[in-house]
Amino acid sequence: MGGLFFSWSSPLKAVEGRMGLPKRADVLVFAFGNMSRGDDGLGPLLLEQLTNGLCNDPIVSAGRIEFITDFQLQVEHILDLVGRRLVLFVDAHVNLSDPVQLTELFALSDKSYTSHAMTPSAVMAAYKVLNQGKTPPCFLLSIQGKNFSLGAEISSEAQSFLGNAVSLAMELCKNPSYDFWVSRTTGFSEYRSTPS
């Protein structure tokens, strides 16, 4: 079957070329969660507020930042990492010691790819396989959630945490450098394994 397949040294590099993508924004903010499940919607809500807060900021008008939201992470989202210099995932978190936490992520081949919802580290691991072992630096902004019931509103506690998270995300977006983001980390991700 060898004749069928491309001989790409890096399939994702080839994808970049073949997809004819315009230069992509350096920074990706990817919030995920379900607005219909109470505090699970913290990620998309943050993105909404962040987008509004930054609408007149030069970093947005210069096309240096892109915002994406979805219910869950799936293997297709590896394509959203292509061409990025910094990636910030945002998610609600049920077991969190602090109201808001920023951690650096590393690729980890966990079992989440067998489900409908991959972890950010598993998405990175899939990306790494296709990109000669490299991933862009990725961070996770976790917001503590309390109530994830179907049809529930955002809890009042989570609402108060959201404000802090938006402020931090705003600060990160205005200072899009790896060193600055690392300096603002506040803990270790449960997805942490070894740096790529």
Partner 1 sequence: MYEHLETAENPEGLRRVVIDPVTRVEGHGKVTLLMDENNRVKQARLHIVEFRGFERFIEGRPYWELPVLVQRLCGICPVSHHLAAAKAVDQLVGVDTLTPTAEKLRRLLHFGQVLQSHALHFFHLSSPDLLFGFDSELSRRNIFAVLEAYPDIALHGVMLRKYGQEVIRTITGKRVHGTGAIPGGMNKPLTLLERDELLKELTSIETSAQKAVEIAREMFFKDARHSVFAMVESNYMSLSRSDGALELYHGGLRARDSEGGVIFDHVDYREYYNYLREEVRPWSYMKFPFISALGKDAGWYRVGPLARLNNCDFIDTPLAEGLRKEFVFFGAGKPVSATLAFHWARMIELLHCAESIRRLLLDEDILGTELRVLGERRFEGVGVLEAPRGTLIHHYCVDESDLVVKANLIVSTTSNNQAMNESIRQVASTYLDGHDPSEQLLNHIEVAIRAYDPCLSCATHALGKMPLQIEAFDCDGRSVFQLVKSIEGS
Q: Does 124 bind partner 1 (CB under 8 A)?
A: no
How far, in Å, CA of 183 to CA of 12, rounded?
A: 30
Which C-beta is closer to partner 1: that of 49 or that of 74? 74
How far, in Å, CA of 9 to CA of 178, rounded?
A: 27
Q: How many residues bind partner 1 (CB under 8 A)?
A: 28
| Among the residue ranges 97-105, 108-116, 133-141, 186-194, the one whose residues contact partner 1 (CB under 8 A) | 108-116
Among residues 130, 143, 165, 166, the one that binds partner 1 under rule CB under 8 A: 130
Least distance CB 111 / partner 1 (angstroms):
7
The DSSP letter of residue 56 is T
Q: Does 79 bind partner 1 (CB under 8 A)?
A: yes
Least distance CB 112 / partner 1 (angstroms):
10
What is the 3-state composition of the chain as percent helix, strand, coil, each rounded to the nearest 5?
Answer: 40, 15, 45
- Give Cβ neighbours of residue 178 (< 8 Å, ≥ 6 apart): 86, 137
> Hunting for tokens 């991933």 — which residue is that?
135
Return the closest-CA partner of residue 30 out of 66, 57, 63, 59: 66
How far, in Å, CA of 122 to CA of 77, rounded?
A: 11
Residues 132-191 close enough to bind partner 1 by CB under 8 A:
none
How far, in Å, CA of 55 to CA of 48, rounded?
A: 11
Q: Does 111 bind partner 1 (CB under 8 A)?
A: yes
| Among the residue ranges 99-107, 122-130, 136-144, 185-193, the one whose residues contact partner 1 (CB under 8 A) | 122-130
Q: Does 68 bind partner 1 (CB under 8 A)?
A: no
Residues that bind partner 1 (CB under 8 A): 1, 4-6, 8, 11-12, 15, 18-22, 70-71, 75-76, 78-79, 109, 111, 113-116, 126, 129-130
